């Protein structure tokens, strides 16, 4: 599993709000980076960033919702927590429909805000783990020979060795050997685990 530095990316046009959020996060040991506008953030954004985004919904120039739209275009999967003010609830609800992770209202309750940030961070970690696992499984799968891949696809369909042998015009013994190699290369001990990985590969 890759270990990437995670940080909370704060995007707010108000310097005091940015600064106080950074300090609050620092006080609980969470790293953060602050940006004063959507444009500045989008210019700096790197696809390998990990963590979550705290995004002010109401900013002069590019609005928070517009930033969200552009991030989606760039396949960004970082969870977004919208910062909203009085009367922004309808907008926040729309943002949630567009895939935002959460929203918090100003002024913030510190514990609630931190809990939500933690939840977003762990959502991102899980998501990241999924991506990493998938990449890993794919790498394992790519070490299979074409014949082993054929055997694997038959095995996960639940076909018995005898049937596979007949379908592939092999001896039953040869199928058993291929099957053992598949289990070894895919690093699994049971058929159930192999099926799980195969589902992951297809997703």
Partner 1 sequence: MNLKVSHKEVPEFDVTAQDAIMDAFIEAIIIMDTDGSIERFNKAAENMFGYKANEAIGLDISILMPDPDGANHGRYVDRYLATREARIIGIGREMTARRKDGTMFPMHLAVGEVGWHGKVSFIGLIRDLTDDKLAEERRLRQATDMIAASRLATMGEMAAAIAHEINQPLAAIATYASAAERLLNAGPENTGDVKGALASVKAQAHRAGEIIRKLRSFVKPEVASLEVKDLQSVIEDIRSLAELDARANNIQLSIDVANNLPEIIADGVQIQQVILNLLRNGIDAMLDCDPDDRRLELHGYIASPDEVRVDVIDRGHGIPQSVRDSVFNPFFTTKTSGMGMGLAISQTIVKSHGGKLGFEDNPGGGTTFYVTLPTKVA
Q: Which of 24, 195, 200, 201 binds partner 1 (CB under 8 A)?
A: 24
The contact mask relative to partner 1 for 73-92 (x = CB under 8 A, - = no) is: ------------xxx-----
What is the C-alpha to C-alpha distance for residues 83 and 45, in angstroms, rounded to an integer?
A: 19
Q: Of 118, 110, 111, which is closest to residue 102 (Cα–Cα)?
A: 118
Nearest distance from C-beta of residue 50 to partner 1, angstroms: 23
Q: Of 123, 136, 132, 114, which is closest to residue 48 (Cα–Cα)?
A: 132
Half-sphere exposure of residue 29: CA atoms within 13 angstroms, side-chain side: 0
Nearest distance from C-beta of residue 123 to partner 1, angstroms: 22
What is the C-alpha to C-alpha distance for residues 126 and 132, in angstroms, rounded to an integer?
A: 10
What is the C-alpha to C-alpha distance for residues 180 and 185, in angstroms, rounded to an integer?
A: 9
Nearer to partner 1, 35 or 141 (CB): 35
Nearer to partner 1, 32 or 128 (CB): 32
What is the C-alpha to C-alpha distance for residues 163 and 184, in angstroms, rounded to an integer?
A: 22
| Contact call for residue 7 and partner 1 (CB under 8 A) | no
Q: Which stretch binds partner 1 (CB under 8 A): 63-71, 94-102, 108-116, 182-190?
A: 108-116
Nearest distance from C-beta of residue 107 to partner 1, angstroms: 4
Contacts with partner 1 by CB under 8 A lie at: 14, 16-17, 19-21, 23-24, 26-28, 58, 85-87, 106-110, 113
């Amino acid at each position: 599993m890759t270990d990437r530095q995670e940080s909370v990316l704060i995007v707010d046009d108000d310097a005091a709000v940015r600064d106080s959020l950074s300090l609050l996060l620092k006080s609980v040991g969470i790293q953060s980076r602050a940006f004063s506008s959507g444009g500045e953030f989008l210019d700096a954004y790197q696809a390998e960033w990990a963590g979550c985004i705290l995004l002010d919904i109401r900013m002069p120039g590019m609005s928070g919702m517009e930033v969200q739209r552009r991030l989606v275009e760039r396949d960004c999967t970082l969870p977004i927590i919208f910062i909203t003010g009085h009367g922004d609830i309808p907008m926040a609800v729309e943002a949630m429909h567009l895939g935002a992770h959460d929203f918090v209202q100003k002024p913030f309750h510190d514990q609630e805000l931190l809990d939500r940030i933690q939840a977003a961070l762990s959502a991102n970690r899980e998501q990241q783990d999924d991506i990493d696992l998938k990449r890993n499984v794919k790498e394992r799968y790519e070490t299979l020979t074409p014949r082993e891949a054929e055997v694997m696809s038959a095995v996960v369909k639940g076909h018995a060795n005898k049937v596979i042998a007949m379908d592939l015009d092999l001896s039953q013994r040869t199928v058993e050997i291929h099957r053992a190699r598949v289990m070894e290369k895919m690093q699994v001990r049971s058929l159930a685990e192999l099926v799980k990985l195969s589902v992951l590969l297809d997703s």
